[in-house]
Amino acid sequence: MTMTNPNALQRIPPQFRTVDPEEISRHMSSAFRPNRSTVNGGERADFSHRSLRLGGASIHQVRYGRAAQVDAPPFEPVVLAMFTLSGCATIDQEDARFEAPAGSFCILNSARHLKIGLSADFEQLTVRLDSATLARALLESGDCDLREDLAFAPCAYDLQQYPNGFARFVDCICSELSREASRCATPAVAPHLERTLAGLLVTEFRHNYSHLLEAGHRSPAPAVVRRAEEYMRERLGEALTMLDLARAAGCSARSLQQAFRQFRHTTPSAWLRLRRLERARELLLASGSGSGSGSGSGMSVTAIAYACGFTHLSKFAAHYRLRFGEPPQQTWRQARTGAAARITTPRS
């Protein structure tokens, strides 16, 4: 899917327009989070910003009109969910570096230092949510002990390959806001939309509490499913057959298939493949650590694929791209490039 109405906010006059890069920094710092915006080559910009509030949340459509760089220090109160409508953004989020091309979606972690490069034709539609609202949604979704800041997976999702309720809901809101008689932004409706957006974000996209939500959702499943899942988690790098899983679960292969379809809405093999892909991404991102101590440090893409149980590299690459919106070689290359930059460029 893509944003079917990317120009829904065009009916709203821009709240702010300027050609001065200094004014862009001041305005974007107040609208999103503190940052420093620099237009490449010192050129005049063609900046415009439209926005609407939904309770404590807000939706923004932003165009810089020139290639630009954004440097944003950590700022915990907000999380930004960004759709790239056109152009491309290159995002360095401390522990990972990835690209967000047109038709993709990513979540910018508030507690991380962000450095973002924007192409001249870049345009974004961004949902700004308070971190406190997301924390409440997380607590409502599962029994989570919030000892750490919520941190989403550092990647861009291809909306054509990764359809999700959050994108569809934002699309629906934007389409509704294009109507003159829309009531979405009224006090009676907006807070409910804000809570729904937060709930979809924390339940549909990977973050550092996803495993706790999954554990909570798994609790009603029968023992045969839980035993099979535990068996697979402990053997992601091994070649496993349905007979192996059924034996570990203590039931027939047919019964295990039926239990997974009923309680997990998937098959054991698909569940195992997803866990392997998630582990592969962890190792690919760790390959740029440069310390030699991390579990993925120094490993090649091929070695990581084999270590995670993938024996067909072409199938691994296809499944990885479908899940994360980029080929595994790109994740590996960006992780190592980011590590080299951090080594050669000391932080102030």
How far apart CA 297 and CA 308 sit, in angstroms, is 15
- Compute the Cα dihedral for 129, 140, 323, 294 and give only its sign: positive
- DSSP labels for 98-161? EEEETTEEEEE-TTS-EEEEE-TT-EEEEEEEEHHHHHHHHHHHS-----S---B-S-EEETTT
Burial of 334 (0-12, 13-18, 19+ CB in 10 A): buried
Which amino acid, 77? P
* Residue 92: per-residue pLDDT: 92
CATH code, domain carrying 255: 1.10.10.60
pTM of the full structure: 0.62
CATH code, domain carrying 91: 2.60.120.10
Residues 178 and 52 in one domain: yes
Count CA within 13 A, CB hemisphere, residue 11. Answer: 12
Q: Which domain holds residue 88?
A: 8-215
* Residue 292: per-residue pLDDT: 44
Q: What is the pLDDT of residues 240-297, one digit of tens each?
A: 999 999 999 999 999 999 998 887 778 999 899 989 998 999 899 887 654 444 455 6
Least Cα distance to 175 among 2, 1, 4 occurs for 4
Residues 210 and 233 in one domain: no
* Residue 293: per-residue pLDDT: 43
Point out the residues of the chain with pLDDT beneath 50. Answer: 1, 4, 218, 290-294, 341-348
For residue 206, tell me if it sits in a domain: yes
Which amino acid, 306? Y
